[in-house]
Amino acid sequence: MSAIIIDGKAIALKTRLDAAEKAKRLSVMPTLAVVLVGENPASLSYVTGKEKALSEAGMGSRDIRLPADTTEDALLKLIADLNADATVHGILVQLPLPRHINEEHIIEAIDPKKDVDGFHPVNMGKLVLGEDCFIPCTPHGIVVLLKEIGIETKGKHAVIVGRSNIVGKPLLNLLIRKNINATVTLCHTGTQNLPSYTRQADILIAAAGSPGLISGDMIKEGAVVIDVGVNRVEDATAKKGFRLKGDVLFDEAVEKASYITPVPGGVGPMTIAMLLQNVVQAAIL
Ligand code: NAD
């Protein structure tokens, strides 16, 4: 069996065009403040990608770049100003932040109505309760991907590897919503005998940040495999000196799965597409 490779770029494009259409119908230009502290190269490329996507969708971005030694107080002051600025609908602080800044303090300072990442405890709490809220973009993108390719989720066993606040935990809460109705197992570093769980998965979502963690023998024949991992693996033969690798050994998994997302070109583009949707939503609120 050779899996169908899910075209995340194509589904993301459709989602982006939909966001652009919604934005066009508004009387204001949805605008996102994008705050980057320091010069982490991966963060810089994520921020640039998000700003380009906003502009292509006819939305605005306020690009705010701060030096790595910015104090927590200065960043909190900036957040307060952006909260009060009616021309800014969404606020995105690119993570990770430099170590001397407490990420929780910063996330909690963002007005939940402008929290387009969906990381604020108010939005997370609403997600758990099944209420309307900003849903974190990566897990939301995964759910949209599954829906767009017509994967049946009701009654299926979804196994997530990774319990982070930005992927694993919100995804668990989305997948157990009644309209999705999956049964979910969440694995993490404390899980013993990981393969015994992954082999039970009808839908396997790898979000561990560990390149090649999921080998072919850990996948049930015919499973849907969603690879969230984006790992920079050193490679002297690559132009940039590294290659992006997923958490799944693609060449092995493709022989076992029915559907699989590639890295890059799978979940990544969906994350940006869902961000655009959240920015439009923030402008409507
Ligand atoms: P994280 O480091 O915060 O969390 C990783 C989780 O995986 C942890 O909860 C840990 O318990 C678990 N884990 C790690 N190794 C494991 C192992 N060997 N067995 C079982 N569990 C294990 O990472 P994150 O921020 O959730 O990101 C995960 C991966 O997804 C990273 O590669 C990241 O780059 C990628 N990511 C991609 C997107 C995207 O848009 N495509 C978005 C966010 C994160």
Q: What is the pLDDT of residues 8-45, one digit of tens each?
A: 999 999 999 999 999 999 999 999 999 999 999 999 99
Exposed / middle / buried, residue 84 (Cβ in 10 Å: 0-12, 13-18, 19+): exposed
141 and 106 in a common domain: no
Q: Which amino acid is at 168?
A: G
Contact 75, 110 (CB under 8 A): no
The pLDDT value given to residue 13 = 98
Asked whether residue 216 carries a pLDDT value surpassing 90, the answer given is yes
Q: What is the rounded average pLDDT of the residues 202-211?
A: 98
Q: Is 200 one of the annotated active-site residues of the chain?
A: no
Q: Is residue 74 part of a domain?
A: yes
101 and 144 in a common domain: no
The pLDDT value given to residue 85 = 98
Strands 259-260, 242-245: pairing kind: unpaired
Strands 31-37, 60-66: pairing kind: parallel
The pLDDT value given to residue 204 = 99
171 and 228 in a common domain: yes
121-124 — which CB contacts under 8 Å span 24+ positions? 124/165, 124/169, 124/170
**Catalytic: which of 50, 169, 220, 256?**
50
Atom of ligand 1 nearest to the CA of 213: 18
102 and 45 in a common domain: yes
95 lines ligand 1 (CB under 6 A): no
107 and 221 in a common domain: no
Residues 104/211/149/164 CA torsion (nearest 10 deg): -20
Percentage of the chain lying above the pLDDT 90 cut: 99
249 and 158 in a common domain: yes
**Catalytic: which of 22, 114, 117, 156?**
117
159 and 71 in a common domain: no
249 and 141 in a common domain: yes
Percentage of the chain lying above the pLDDT 70 cut: 100
Q: Is residue 117 part of a domain?
A: no
Tell me the three-class secondary structure of the chain, residue by residue: CCCEECCHHHHHHHHHHHHHHHHHCCCCCCEEEEEEECCCHHHHHHHHHHHHHHHHCCCEEEEEEECCCCCHHHHHHHHHHHHHCCCCCEEEECCCCCCCCCHHHHHHHCCHHHCCCCCCHHHHHHHHHCCCCCCCHHHHHHHHHHHHCCCCCCCCEEEEECCCCCCHHHHHHHHCCCCCCCEEEEECCCCCCHHHHHCCCCEEEECCCCCCCECHHHCCCCCEEEECCCEEEECCCCCCCEEEECCECHHHHCCCCCEECCCCCCHHHHHHHHHHHHHHHHHHC
Q: Is 117 one of the annotated active-site residues of the chain?
A: yes
The pLDDT value given to residue 285 = 84
Does residue 1 or residue 146 have the better pLDDT?
A: 146
pLDDT one-digit tens code per residue, 155-196: 999 999 999 999 999 999 999 999 999 999 999 999 999 999
Distance 27 CA to ligand 1 centre (A): 39
Asked whether residue 130 carries a pLDDT value surpassing 90, the answer given is yes
145 and 255 in a common domain: yes
The pLDDT value given to residue 146 = 98
Number of domains the chain contains: 2
Please tell me the pTM assigned to this model: 0.97
pLDDT one-digit tens code per residue, 65-80: 999 999 999 999 999 9
Mutate to test the pocket of ligand 1, among 188, 191, 218 (most ligand atoms within 8 A of CB): 188
Mean pLDDT estimate for the chain: 97
144: left (phi over 0), alpha (psi -120 to 50) or beta: alpha
Q: What is the rounded average pLDDT of the residues 97-102?
A: 98
Q: Is residue 51 part of a domain?
A: yes
**Going by CA atoms, what residue is nearest to atom 13 of ligand 1?**
208
43 lines ligand 1 (CB under 6 A): no
**Going by CA atoms, what residue is nearest to atom 14 of ligand 1?**
208
Q: Is 69 one of the annotated active-site residues of the chain?
A: no
Distance 147 CA to ligand 1 centre (A): 23
Q: Which amino acid is at 18?
A: D
248 lines ligand 1 (CB under 6 A): no
By residue range, what is the domain housing residue 234? 136-268
pLDDT one-digit tens code per residue, 219-234: 999 999 999 999 999 9
Which residues does 197 contact at the CB level (< 8 Å), separation at least 6? 159, 185, 187, 191
161 and 90 in a common domain: no
Strand partners, 131: none
